[in-house]
Amino acid sequence: LNLEARQSEGLRMFFGALNREKDWGPLMDELNAVFRAAPEFWSVSVVHDRQFFEALDLPNSQKSFLPMCSHADYIKEMSSCDFAFLPLADTRFNHFKSDLKALEAAANGLAVLASPVVYEAFVRSGQTGELFYTSSELVAHLNAWREDPTVVREMGLKGRQWLASERMS
């Protein structure tokens, strides 16, 4: 974790998924509105999902794409970010998914910004990240984080501590 180097910068979001357009698609307009309001503050690292990468309304200098890769490279990319974006629509299929991505994020010091599907049991609001039930809640969390980005980094550290004490013991 290189928190010191990132203190003066904006926030970097991690998104790693494949074929999840039905999950992120309905949120993209609002997400891009937040990014357009401060494109120099936000950056995004995308692993696997080229459509998500292409849909991001950010300058190319503020986003990166890594295609299918090894788990080690996936984790390396994730660990360069401040928070993980984990949207899952409320579908039968998604309810069978695990919270592994949230656990990986916490293990690598990232806060989690997630939908309640699957992640509700993991996310401790204001402690390990934030849940959003609507796109307006997603926007509110991102705007609050823009006002005080240190909160995100603190949640990432608390998430790592929570994981060690609650899930690794």
Instruction: Render pLDDT for 24-45 as a digit per residue (tens, 0 to 9).
Output: 999 999 999 999 999 999 999 9
Q: Which amino acid is at 161?
A: Q
C-alpha 85, offset from chain centre: 2
Mean pLDDT for all residues in the chain: 92
pLDDT reported for residue 109: 95
CB 131 within 8 A of CB 120: yes
Backbone angles phi, psi at 18, to 5 degrees: -145, 135
pTM: 0.92
pLDDT reported for residue 8: 52
SS (H, E, C) the chain: CCHHHHCCCCEEEEEECCCCHHHHHHHHHHHHHHHHHCCCCEEEEEECCHHHHHHCCCCHHHEEEECCCCHHHHHHHHCCCCEEEECCCCCCCHHHCCCHHHHHHHHCCCEEEECHHHHCCCCCECCCEEECCCHHHHHHHHHHHHHCCHHHHHHHHHHHHHHHHHHCC
Q: Cα–Cα distance between 104 and 108 in angstroms, integer? A: 6
CB 65 within 8 A of CB 53: yes
Q: Which amino acid is at 78?
A: M
Which residue ranges in the chain fall short of pLDDT 70? 1-8, 167-169
